[in-house]
Amino acid sequence: MIDKSSPVPIYHQIEEQLKTQIEEGTLMSDSALPSEREYAETFQVSRMTVRQALNNLVNDGFLYRQKGRGTFVSKQKVEQKLLGLTSFTEDMVARGLSPSNKLITFEVFPASDRIAKQLQIPPTTPVYEIQRVRLADGIPMAIETSYLPASLIKGLTKEIINHSLYNYVENTLSLKIERATQQLEASIARESETKLLQIDKGAPILLISRTSFLKDGTPFEFVKSAYRADRYKFVHHMDR
Ligand code: GLP
């Protein structure tokens, strides 16, 4: 399994093998890894070499350590294609994950200048502010704060928002969602976010702001999302 005559360093060969096992599911997420000693025997290499490979995999997020318990396999990141305009619910269902929400805020208030500008409405126009933690199979993935013009997205309730906003807009209000513009940037989780997302202080997050438009060009939502960078990756296809 290990080619000692190869110019590829042995620790790197071990890393590659473990990555393949993680990707193929031979090493299942949250399962405990064999000990360094066992790997050293299996691969016929020193424990130092095994440790170096495992350290690199921990640093790259493939494995995580728990004090006194050992080394475990991280959950694989959810891959989000930056292609179609999809909802969180659709994205999770498409991956065979079960979406759920934890509602943090549900209010109507007069739009600030900044929100009004994004939604192309006069300042102080009533808007919903809705903050939800979005979960997949019970694991927090993102915090989403949505601003929606109250006169356009009529009749919203906590019940509705506990399911899918896009489903309500399209299937109950019969409005056609057409396009969105989105910005993505890296950041570090603030304390309030670490609690809601169940991550450590200072953990990396991906910040996304999206303005979405109906078919007639009216903006119907301005959304700020903070995604867990350890659970999410964005994939972009490019033609030339
Ligand atoms: C994604 C988008 C949001 C959008 C949401 C709707 O998460 N980033 O801008 O509001 O989907 O999701 P759902 O229909 O599941 O409420």
46 and 95 share one domain: no
**pLDDT at residue 201, as a whole number:** 87
Q: Can you tell me the distance from the alpha carbon of 27 to that of 19, in angstroms, rounded to the nearest whole number? A: 9
28 and 60 share one domain: yes
Q: Can you tell me the distance from the alpha carbon of 203 to that of 124, in angstroms, rounded to the nearest whole number? A: 35
Q: How far is the CA of 70 from the centre of ligand 1 (A)?
A: 37
Give me the domain span that covers residue 156.
78-235
132 and 116 share one domain: yes
User: 112 lies in a domain?
Assistant: yes
Structural domains counted in the chain: 2
Q: How far is CA 156 from CA 86, 139, 171, in A?
A: 20, 25, 13
45 and 95 share one domain: no
Q: How far is the CA of 17 from the centre of ligand 1 (A)?
A: 37
138 and 119 share one domain: yes
Q: How far is the CA of 165 from the centre of ligand 1 (A)?
A: 7
Q: How far is the CA of 75 from the centre of ligand 1 (A)?
A: 23
Name the residue at shortest CA distance from atom 2 of ligand 1: 87
User: 240 lies in a domain?
Assistant: no
End-of-domain residue from the set 40, 73, 106:
73
How many other CB atoms sit within 10 Å of the CB of residue 221?
A: 25
Q: pLDDT higher for 231 or 221?
A: 221
**pLDDT at residue 179, as a whole number:** 96
Pocket test for ligand 1, best of 78, 83, 87 (most atoms within 8 A of CB): 87
**pLDDT at residue 236, as a whole number:** 87
Mean pLDDT within 180-197: 95
Structure tokens at 162: 């506990």
- Do 204 and 230 contact (CB within 8 A), yes or no? yes
**pLDDT at residue 78, as a whole number:** 82
Q: How confident is the model at residue 227 (pLDDT cuts 50, 70, 90)?
A: very high
What average pLDDT does the chain have?
94
- Do 78 and 227 contact (CB within 8 A), yes or no? no
68 and 26 share one domain: yes
57 and 83 share one domain: no
User: 4 lies in a domain?
Assistant: no
- Do 50 and 57 contact (CB within 8 A), yes or no? no
Three-state DSSP class for residue 240: coil
Query: Residue 59: phi, psi to the nearest 5?
Result: -60, -35
Pocket test for ligand 1, best of 103, 181, 210 (most atoms within 8 A of CB): 210
CATH (domain of 40): 1.10.10.10
Q: Which residues line ligand 1 (CB under 6 A)?
A: 87-89, 144, 146, 164-167, 210, 221, 223, 225
Mean pLDDT within 97-117: 96
Question: Is the pLDDT at 47 greater than 90, yes or no?
Answer: yes
To the nearest whole percent, how much of the chain has pLDDT over 70? 100
Query: What is the position in ligand 1's atom list of the atom closest to the CA of 208?
Result: 8
105 and 167 share one domain: yes
Name the residue at shortest CA distance from atom 13 of ligand 1: 164
Pocket test for ligand 1, best of 144, 148, 227 (most atoms within 8 A of CB): 144
Structure tokens at 196: 């809601």
* Token pair 């502010």: residue: 129
159 and 186 share one domain: yes
Q: How confident is the model at residue 199 (pLDDT cuts 50, 70, 90)?
A: very high
218 and 99 share one domain: yes
**pLDDT at residue 161, as a whole number:** 94
User: 2 lies in a domain?
Assistant: no
Query: What is the position in ligand 1's atom list of the atom closest to the CA of 142?
Result: 7
Which tens digits make up the pLDDT trace of 202-217?
899 999 999 999 999 9
Give this prediction's pTM: 0.83
Residue 165 neighbours by CB under 8 Å, 6+ apart: 87, 130, 146, 148, 221
Q: Can you tell me the distance from the alpha carbon of 26 to that of 56, in angstroms, rounded to the nearest whole number? A: 20
Q: How far is the CA of 54 from the centre of ligand 1 (A)?
A: 37
User: 214 lies in a domain?
Assistant: yes
